Structure 1
Amino acid sequence: MPSPCSQCGAFVLPADDVLLDRTPHTLARLAQLSASDEPPGDAELSILRPIVEKTSKRLTLLDEEIPRLKDRLQELETERTALSESHAQNIRILSPLRRIPAEILGEIFSWSLPSHWDVLDVRNCPWVLTHVCRRWRAVALSMTSLWSLISVDFETKPQYPRAMISTQIERARSLKIHFFGYEDCDASSQIALFELLAIHSHRWEELSIQLTSHLGPCVMKDRDLTALRRTWVQWHNAESQTPEFNSVDFLRTATSLVEIGVCCDFRFLPTRLPTHHQLTRYDFDAPWRTHVELLKSLPNIQAARISRHFDNFNDWPEPGDPIDLPHLRRLYVTDHPCLDYLRTPRLEELAIALNATDNKGPDESLEHLLKRSSCIPRCLRIQGHLDAQSTAAILQKNPSFTEFGVTDEDENEDAQRRILSTFLTLFTISNSTPSAMLPHIMKISFASESGDSTLYPLFLDMLESRWKPEESVLKVSELMFRKPSLPCPDPQSLARIEALRESGLKISLLSGDDMDTCVEHWLCKVGW
């Protein structure tokens, strides 16, 4: 009788009890009988009958043992399921998330918010946070700031759930409205949604709006905008700026306004500001005369983007007494002659748009501004056409500029290549250039409109030519791509990037929204 297994209790019949030891002749004879229908002789029967008897007993034993083991297996599986559920429950109880204070959990929630185009979606924050657990829901609903941003874009989505928007309005305290109208979309749905939001205009803290011809009359109504601090206005296309648009005058009640941007683009529309305002930042497309009037009335302005449009055919007036801007720290100009009319004693960052048709570079106007203002700005940005010789002269003459960046915003690929080539020539140190070329530059940045992965080795060649860990003052470099996703560097470039980072140089690779945010900072844009 076989004995039970000490581990599982199963009975096992030894193999030798079934397959008895036989001589090669006997084994060969059994194999021959198995391969034919020849009847066995008395000698073979004496061998086979004990084997069949033993295997029969073994099969009977197995037939009895298998159901018992199946029952045991089911018992183990049931036990494991219950134990696993209990274990998971205890793990959840021990989770560090349970011990995070509500205020810290709320801070984490605020960082989880998506880009504003995706807010009205139950799969995204803050909506999804309310379906995780009771505590998360309570924290999310207590944070009015999580629900402030309401963003609609009729160009990408023609309909929006009004019930969801109403719920979000109820959960928010102040509102940040991003309303992107679309000329070819159903006008009634856009008007109805804007009117729903406008009921709560007294809670608007931020308004970014793209107007259409049918939205204009709704937007231009007198509303309570006393809480509005930041606004951006633009039009979808030329047809959107109908003759009824004579000016942007719905902001007269926005007495708390500190930032404003108006992109007229197609034709100039004067903007009527409240009698009393606190503007510290503005971005306008306007004739130079309008900019002059605005700047003289904005003693507290800290950042300005001066886009001179609609009078480019006119000559510049003779500079008189400069316009004093005692608090201005960041300035962007589309035409460098603007600098001839300003005094900016606290200027820190300057961005200048250049094009190949400029009769002369910005160096003379810039020198006059710096001398007139007695300022020592640290950051210079160039947008568009770049001249290596004049730029090098500016940087060498003004060592206070320790940060320099270029963006090649130009649809022409040849122009982009020329800008990139000039940028690399300006900063690459070779045997033919002095070893101390622009030694005071601590940060170098390049933003590309449509560049690809071929930029990496060129940019790295430039960095490696300047980088000496023991001597170089260079600390930071940025390479940015306007594309939504970052072009993948080749393995060799990746290795070079890591080597530079390990040696102490901070290298940032940005794309899409990250790049847009950075460039907006460069160019002082209010923007979206």
Structure 2
Amino acid sequence: MSTNANSCPQCGYSLQHHTPPALPCDNYRIEQLLTTNEYPNQKEELAFRIFVANAPCAISHFDDRIASLKAELLKVEAEKANFTSVFPKYQKPLNPVRRIPPEILQLIFEYGMGYDKPAKEYFESISHSLDVHFPLLVYGRVCHYWRNLIDLGMPKLWTRIKLQLDRPMPTKLVPHASSLLSVYLRRSQQRPLTICLDIPRSKSLDFGTGYLVREFFKESARWESLFLSGGDELDEIMAMSEHSYKSLKSVHVRRIDAHSVSLHRCWFPELTTWTSVWDGPSIGFSFFPAAFYSITDYTISGVWNIRAVNVVQCLYSLRTLSIQSVVLAVSSLSEVPNLNLPFLKELHIRQDSHNNCNNAAIAAVLDSMSCPALIALSLFTSEKLVEPLQRFEERSNFKLEHFVGSKNAGIFAKAIRNGDALETIKIEGTDTTQATTDVLASLYIQSTRFSNADTPFPCSFPSPSLDKPTVTFPKLHRLQSEMRDLKIADDFMARAYTNLCAREKFENAVPLELVITTGDEKAQKMFQSLNRKEFANLKVTVKIIGV
């Protein structure tokens, strides 16, 4: 088959050489000749003869073109299949995840591992770190790039280690566990470590666990925070280190038996924070002598009120104190010593309503305390503590700046006598709508029960005139509340506006920011009912957060 410049490069078709002869274009005449026996004229006969003579060649050429086109189609389909298979492979290198900077990847890894949680909450959510299925070890098996980043470029990821030592360790697993522990210690690159140890309750360490602990304690000089849980072996294990705990700043001890604890053989030169949680209220505890002056942040939980006071009174440099779930001792309240904390800035009280952790226990603690430098108070109790709180305030004569409470926050707002320095109030927990409403209602009116005549004990604070309302918290600039139990959004916003209008009349009241967190549906209704212009005229900023 010859081709020329006008031929198709794929099949060789040419209009000049391969166009079949044209038939007469008179369709009616053609139809007449094909449907009758009439003989064509000379011109018509010539046209038909030329067409019939060239038809076989044209048909053969069409067959050749079809074969050529089929071959070309197969070639194109093969190329398409190749492109289809290669396309995803070439697309992978362009995946945005490959361009994530290492510092962003580290944040992703930290979130996936639970590092966004506080250390205490993080350790409660995992069993132990020496597990091949632990997220940190799994991330390193995704690809070489991730492994190199995690192994060499992200030492922070290896600084939280939990050893669950209250389970026997088979001897055959000791090399594997020791190897994983070495990985953590090596890849943390001498960074400070946050450690959690679950110590056996009433039995000695088996050979495998004992070996692992001895290897672990060789790095005790790097420990920065320590979470301990255990029984009889706690003291002995803590004294196992041949090195001082020279970097240890925070210790959280949970004792699960009823024996006393003494860490006199341990030395913590940098220690500032200590938390003691006991499962038995009769437990005792004694610090090493230097801790009396070094500890500035102390938490005690689950003990008798007298035990709590006896321990706290020895800590001369306290700045932050948390007392949780204290139990009322059977002895008389007169035996509770006076607790003077001249440097205490923050006091956090959380009292449960079970296991004898009642109003009387925490009231006994408050009645023994004097904190003249207190500026922040958190109070989470299931019962009202009006009179003990008032006595505590009068005895201390502090100027509170920050308060955090729950459903009894409204009681606090009415009970506090000197609120001139208060700057922030935060209300957390459940059933807080009424508490928030009560706080808003108390922003400008001093209750008549604050007069000296109505007070059942001597009061050094002057009483305001009963017929002249005064602003209760003139420096309050932020009121924040979680109101998951909010029922009628419009009603609450109307009450809030009314109370803030009354507060706005006082020239010495600073502009207020009102932050409300509630459910999405209620938040939308509050947002719709919010008249921003009117609140802006009151110099009030309202933020509504839906969750």
Matched residue, 2:37: none
Distance in 1 of aligned mates of 2:531 and 2:178: 49
Q: Which residue of 2 aligns with 1:381?
A: 404
- Could you tell me which residue of structure 1 aligns to residue 139 of structure 2? 128
* Distance in 2 between residues matched to 1:194 and 1:407, nearest whole Å: 41
1:269-315 CA distance string (max 9 Å, x none)? 22221221310111113334433343333232111012473543333
What is the alpha-carbon distance in structure 2 between the residues aligned to residue 93 and residue 381 of structure 1? 42
Cα distance in structure 2, aligned partners of 1:496 and 1:204: 49
Distance change >3 Å, CA 464–CA 68, structure 1 → 2: farther
**CA–CA distance in 2 between the matches of 1:365 and 1:280?**
25
Report the secondary structure of 1:262's partner residue.
Answer: strand
Amino acid corresponding to residue 271 of structure 1 in structure 2: F
Distance of aligned partners of 1:72 and 1:279 in 2 relative to their CA distance in 1, 3 Å threshold: same
Distance 1:96 1:295, change over 3 A: closer
Tell me if the contact between 1:324 and 1:343 (Cα under 8 Å) persists in the aligned partners: yes
Change (3 A) 1:114 1:308: closer
AA of the residue aligned to 2:194: K
CA contact (8 A) 2:193 2:225 kept: yes
Within the alignment, does 1:66 sit opposite 2:70 as a pair? yes
Is residue 2:402 matched to residue 1:398?
A: no
Change in Cα spacing, 1:157 to 1:355, as seen in structure 2 (3 Å) is farther
Mapping of residues 486-525 of structure 1, within 5 Å? 489-490=520-521, 493-494=523-524, 496=526, 505-507=542-544
**Partner of residue 177, structure 1:** 195
- Secondary structure at the aligned position of 1:169 is classed as helix
Superposed displacement of residue 149, structure 1: 0.7
Cα 1:130/1:442, change in 2 over 3 Å: farther
In the alignment, does 2:270 pair up with 1:256?
yes
- Counterpart pick for 1:351 among 369, 372, 378: 378
Report SS of the residue matched to 1:317: helix
Residues 178, 52 of structure 1: alpha-carbon distance in 2 compared, 3 angstrom cutoff = farther
Q: Give the structure 2 partner of residue 45 of structure 1.
A: none
1:486-525 CA distances to partner (integer Å, 9 max, x unpaired)?
Answer: xx744x6457569979996445567xxxxxxxxxxxxxxx
Query: What's the offset of the Cα at 1:9?
Result: 5.8
CA distance in 2, matches of 1:75, 1:59: 24
Establish whether residue 114 from structure 1 lines up as the match of residue 114 from structure 2.
Answer: yes
Instruction: Determine if the alignment matches structure 1 residue 233 to structure 2 residue 245.
Output: no
Amino acid at match of 2:270: S
Q: TM-score, normalised by structure 1?
A: 0.62
Superposition deviation, residue 351 in structure 1 = 1.7
TM-superposed CA distance for 1:425, in Å, is 4.2
Aligned length in residues:
446
Given residue 139 of structure 2, which amino acid in structure 1 is its aligned partner? Answer: V
Are 1:337 and 1:362, in contact at CA under 8 Å, matched by a contact in 2? no
User: Any residues of structure 2 matched to 1:449-464 within 5 Å, and which?
Assistant: 455=485, 462=492
Q: Displacement of 1:105 after TM fit?
A: 6.7
Q: Does 1 or 2 have the higher relative contact order (CA < 8 Å, sep 6+)?
A: 1
Residues 147, 493 of structure 1: alpha-carbon distance in 2 compared, 3 angstrom cutoff: same
Letter in 1 for 2:229: Q
Q: Deviations over 1:433-470 (max 9, x none)?
A: 99x9978654445569xxxxx63655786467536999
**Structure 2 counterpart of 1:352, one-letter code:** L
Amino acid at match of 1:422: Q
Aligned residue for 1:306, secondary structure, equals strand
- 1:168 and 2:184 correspond: yes
Q: Which has the larger displacement, 141-150 or 271-280?
A: 141-150
For the pair 1:210 / 2:221, whether they are aligned, the reply is: no
In angstroms, what is the RMSD of aligned CA positions? 5.8
Specify the alignment match of 2:343 in structure 1: 326
User: What's the offset of the Cα at 1:87?
Assistant: 8.3
The alpha carbon displacement at 1:403 in A equals: 2.8
Match of 1:279 in 2: 295
1:305 and 2:322 are equivalent in the alignment: yes
Q: 1:197 aligns with which of 216, 219, 224?
A: 216
Gap change, CA 1:198 and 1:501, over 3 Å in 2: farther
> Which residue of 2 is the match for residue 411 of structure 1?
none
Cα distance change, pair 396–464 in 1 and its aligned pair in 2 (3 A):
farther
Aligned-partner Cα distance in 1 for 2:517–2:97: 45
In the alignment, which residue of structure 1 is the partner of 2:162? 151
- Whether the 8 Å contact between 1:151 and 1:178 is mirrored in structure 2 is yes
Instruction: Note the residue ranges of structure 1 that are not aligned, 5 or more in a row.
Output: 28-49, 409-415, 449-453, 481-487, 511-528
1:295 is matched with 312
The CA deviation at 1:220 is 5.2
Change in Cα spacing, 1:197 to 1:257, as seen in structure 2 (3 Å) is: same
Separation (CA, whole Å) in 1 of partners of 2:435 and 2:338: 36
Partner of 1:247: 261
- Equivalence for 2:460: none
- The CA deviation at 1:147 is 1.6
* Contact 1:147 1:171 (8 Å CA) reproduced: yes
C-alpha separation in 1, matches of 2:545 and 2:70: 64
C-alpha distance in structure 1 between counterparts of 2:260 and 2:3, whole Å: 104
**1:420 Cα offset (Å):** 3.7
Equivalent pair of 1:395/1:401 in contact (CA under 8 Å): no
TM-score by length of 2: 0.61
> CA offset at residue 398 of structure 1?
1.7
Identify if the C-alpha distance between structure 1 residues 229 and 4 changes in structure 2 by more than 3 Å, giving closer, same or farther.
Answer: farther
Residues 90 and 264 (structure 1), Cα distance of their counterparts in 2 relative to 1, 3 Å cut: closer
Q: Does 1:466 align with 2:477?
A: no
The answer on 1:265 being equivalent to 2:265 is no
Contact 1:467 1:474 in 2 (8 A): no
**1:154 and 1:22 mapped to 2: Cα distance?**
104
Note if 1:475 corresponds to 2:513: yes
Gaps of 5+ in 2: 32-53, 116-121, 352-361, 446-468, 505-509
Letter in 2 for 1:332: I
Displacement of 1:234 in angstroms is: 1.3
1:331 CA displacement: 3.7
Q: Aligned-pair distance for 1:148?
A: 1.3
Q: Which has the larger radius of gyration?
A: 2
Code of the aligned partner of 2:252: W
Return the offset for 1:168.
0.2
Letter in 1 for 2:414: A
Moved more, 105-114 or 346-355: 105-114
Contact kept? 1:501, 1:507, Cα under 8 Å: no
By how many angstroms is 1:397 displaced? 5.4
Q: Which amino acid aligns with 1:209?
A: L
The CA deviation at 1:22 is 12
Offset at residue 251 of structure 1 (A): 6.7
Q: Helix, strand or coil: the match of 2:182?
A: helix
Distance 1:84 1:473 in 2: 59
